[in-house]
Chain A
Amino acid sequence: MKSSDILLQESIERDRTGTTNGPDAIAYKIVFNALEKQPSFSLHPSFAEKIIQKIKDAKEGQSHRRDLIWLGLGLCAFIMASIFVILVTNLKFTLGVFTFLSNYGGLVFFAIVLVGVLQLVEKILLKRIFF
């Protein structure tokens, strides 16, 4: 690029209305005027709101993750404490009061089936009545 060209650019940048003429000067004036126009790019009108919502969602996600971590830690602590207590107290598992149920296996089975059937009937009836 010629230095005269650089000088011409500088002179037009300083004074767009200058009297410098000639094809190069006229072309540069057109270029400078066009350069100051905004590029034709626009963002969605609710662009800012979308970003803010994303940040809020991310924060909620983070807090949910934090809660899960605390829950996991709590469960671990509970299990470890239980193991510790079992070992220290030499705990032995017995069915205790439930041992008498072993004599009534059929009754226990009947109770479980009855509860199951009642649940099923209730579900079917509710569906018919309300839906």
Chain B
Amino acid sequence: MTEDEAIISRIIKGDMESFGQLIKRHERLVGHMISRLVKIKEDQEELCQDVFLKVHEKLGEFHFQSRLSTWIATIAYRHAINHLRKKRIPMSDLDEDKEFKERFVDQGDLEEDLADRDIEEKVKKYIDQLPAHYSTVLTLYHVDGMSYSEIGKITGMPEGTVKNYLFRARNLLKEKVLKHLGKEEIR
């Protein structure tokens, strides 16, 4: 029996301490998903709570069709998307917004005077400015170490789309970094 299987069986029997362990192990992943998709700070923690309440409710239906983390991330993703739909917050897509790239790259930096600060911190801010699907895919891949197929399962996107989103998002970030640093300076 794997560790995840053991923990789930204890939770189903009513062991709340084990559920606490499960939360602690996955709260970072759920937090990433929610914070990437939902930008309103006040809603984020409540949504994370809802996700874990749902996980507890549906744990009996989980039969290891995927990794536990993938299953939890799927619940978090769907919950966040439903929340955005309910609040009628549109989720923009680069395909629908052809001028996004130009706007994104050319957009002046509000904190240009902080140019001396760590460029990587800047990139983290740029990631927040990307459409939610893109930043979510980037975070799942780079921070949470998920594979293309796992991200596909979570988001319901075909693997090819996941890959395409990743490449395009990184390309956009690269253009923005080039713009920020100044091509000539790097050369």
Contact = CB atoms under 8 A, between A and B. Distances in A.
B178 A35 contact: no
Interface string B152-171: 00000000000000011011
A41 B23 contact: no
Interface class of chain B by DSSP: helix
B187 to A, nearest CB: 6
A88 B142 CA distance: 79
Interface stretch (A24-32, A79-87, A121-129): A24-32
B177 interface: yes
A39 B139 contact: yes
A37 interface: yes
Interface class of chain A by DSSP: helix
B123 A31 contact: yes
A42 interface: yes
Contacts of A48: 20, 23-24, 27
Interface string A34-61: 1111111111100111111011100000
B143 A38 contact: yes
Nearest to A47: B27
A102 B183 CA distance: 109
B186 A35 contact: no
Interface string A95-107: 0000000000000
Contact of A49 (B20, B178, B183): B20
A42 B31 contact: yes
Interface stretch (B41-49, B60-68, B69-77, B82-90): B41-49
B91 interface: no
B31 A52 contact: no
B167 A6 contact: yes
A41 B120 contact: no
Contact of B142 (A5, A6, A36): A36
Contacts of B173: 31, 34-35
Interface of A: 1, 5-6, 9, 22-24, 26-28, 30-44, 47-52, 54-56
10 contacts: A27-B178, A34-B122, A35-B143, A38-B143, A39-B31, A47-B23, A47-B27, A51-B56, A52-B20, A55-B53
